[in-house]
Amino acid sequence: MSVAEPGAAAEEGREFLEEVIAEALGGRPRARGGRVLYLGPGRGSEVSRLAREADHVTFVLPAPSASEGGNSVQTERPLDRITYKHALITDLSFPPGSFEMVVGAWALTSLNDLQAQEFLHRVLEWLVPGGYFSFREACGFHEDPRPSNSTLPRSPVLYCQMLQSVTTVSSAFTILRAKSLLSYITHEGDPTRMCFLARRSEANSATRHAVDIRYSESFILKLEWLLGHTWVSTGGESTTKEFCKHLGLRPGHTVLDVGCGSGGSAFFMARLYGVHVRGVDISSNMVDLAVQRQTHLRRALRKRLQFEMRDILDADYGDCSFDIIYSRNSILHIANKDELFAKLYRWLKPGGILFVTDYCLGSVPPSRPLASYMAKSSMSLVTVKDYEHVVAGAGFSVVSRDLGDYFYSIQQKELDAFLPTREAFVQEYSQQEMEEMVAVATNKLTWIRGRQLTWASFYGRK
């Protein structure tokens, strides 16, 4: 089952693929002292890199014609460090616990969904507890339901759903991240080539599962009905436009958008200011929508955007990586804010800017309905003063603003604009969902007016 690796031709193509390999391998855990299974086209240099770290690499070539990749490995590493196999991946069989890591390069592309699901089950069994599965694939987006025998490119969220559904008696995959490969974005303007990383765990991630249930695609699109296309944070484009005026954004700046949602702020900043934005969100549905929308942008704009699904607390982007770190109404879901802001401070360049808006507790203790809403929505809210204390404690010089009155005004305007769309909304969704949306918006207005809930901005400088 031979799958050609995408890319340019001749020498330029080889250099580009080396860049892809370096990026893909650079983003996964080290393989020191372990056994690695590599699946994909005959990329000898990639296998050779793995063999420098691992005790042993089993290199499965899809067809004998791909063996030239293996030969390039033999010139760099002793033969006893690498075992070569020619086989269809659907025919592979290994004892349970055979590998610390499985690496796939375009290996699932030509499998239909049933074959891919079965293969993922076997990968889980082949891994030791705590072992990693790293793979990259070309993703696609299709509105029609997929037949089970389809080999059309899968969406990022479908790969995540497939991984989450794979279990054994005692283990499951925990998805650590899924991101568009920057190499393809930079060279080809293509965000659909994506790299995934999952770990064999004793149980699937309850946190990620809860996030994906709450932030279903349907729920996100309902929020956008209220806030505007691609917007899932208060005020949508209008507040983003106002806040961005004060961030000193310039072409070439690098921005980290924490909790990027379905892409609104990232698209806005890249389009109007020419900055490069890395959007990160824990919701696979948010990132799926963001990448899908990125594909419809003009090529120059696509090249300034990269989206990634991961828990921001598990990320490490390196010291002094960003000029601006930006977050809108997302950190409210993170209880350990001290750890997060310490990371954000380290990732920001000297003199760089942090800008955050978030829900906060007001001056009046939360009522039972608000406390119930916070618990249901997994909100970890603190007062504006305590929030500012956490940001300052990380090292930032910070100025906070309580925007409660502004918050109330925006929420009221959004509700007033939403109510006349009742007939169209009910036709798309249901009367019950319309009533639920109105109830949430009305309750927020009550809590804001009663000073139980507020909204604040935090402007920090490193």
Which residues touch 254 (CB under 8 Å, ≥6 apart)? Answer: 275, 276, 277, 278, 321, 322, 323, 324
Tell me, yes or no, whether 281 and 157 share the same domain: no
Tell me, yes or no, whether 233 and 199 share the same domain: no
CA distances from 182 to 15, 265, 277, 428 (A): 15, 19, 11, 36
How many independent structural domains does the chain possess?
2
Tell me, yes or no, whether 453 and 430 share the same domain: yes
Residue 227 within any structural domain of the chain:
yes
Q: For the chain, which ranges sit under pLDDT 70?
A: 1-14, 42-43, 63-79, 143-144, 146-150, 203-210
Task: Choose one of 204, 223, 257: the last residue of a domain.
Answer: 204
Beta bridge pairs of residue 325: 256, 354
Task: Choose one of 181, 204, 227: the last residue of a domain.
Answer: 204
Residue 353 within any structural domain of the chain:
yes
Tell me, yes or no, whether 439 and 295 share the same domain: yes
At position 444, the amino acid (one-letter code) is: K
Query: Distance (Å, rounded) from C-alpha 460 to C-alpha 453?
Result: 23
Residue 20 within any structural domain of the chain:
yes
pLDDT in tens, 10-55: 456 667 777 888 888 777 787 777 899 999 876 677 888 888 888 8
Residues of the domain holding 274? 213-461
pLDDT in the model for residue 8 = 43
Residue 4 within any structural domain of the chain:
no
3-state secondary structure of 99: strand
Tell me, yes or no, whether 184 and 234 share the same domain: no
Residue 115 within any structural domain of the chain:
yes
Tell me, yes or no, whether 135 and 281 share the same domain: no
Tell me, yes or no, whether 184 and 119 share the same domain: yes
Tell me, yes or no, whether 119 and 83 share the same domain: yes
pLDDT in the model for residue 80 = 73
Tell me, yes or no, whether 340 and 450 share the same domain: yes
Residue of 401, 393, 122, 154 lying closest to 284 (CA atoms):
154
3-state secondary structure of 39: strand
Query: Distance (Å, rounded) from C-alpha 246 to C-alpha 459?
Result: 9
Q: In this structure, what CATH number is given to the domain that contains residue 139?
A: 3.40.50.150
Tell me, yes or no, whether 344 and 379 share the same domain: yes
pLDDT in the model for residue 29 = 80
Residue 2 within any structural domain of the chain:
no
Tell me, yes or no, whether 289 and 413 share the same domain: yes
Q: Is the pTM of this model over 0.95?
A: no
pLDDT in tens, 107-151: 998 899 999 999 999 999 999 999 999 999 999 987 667 666 667
pLDDT in the model for residue 2 = 38
Tell me, yes or no, whether 276 and 408 share the same domain: yes
pLDDT in the model for residue 74 = 42
CA distances from 402 to 332, 387, 459 (A): 15, 11, 12
pLDDT in the model for residue 66 = 43
pLDDT in the model for residue 239 = 97
Query: Distance (Å, rounded) from C-alpha 156 to C-alpha 306?
Result: 14
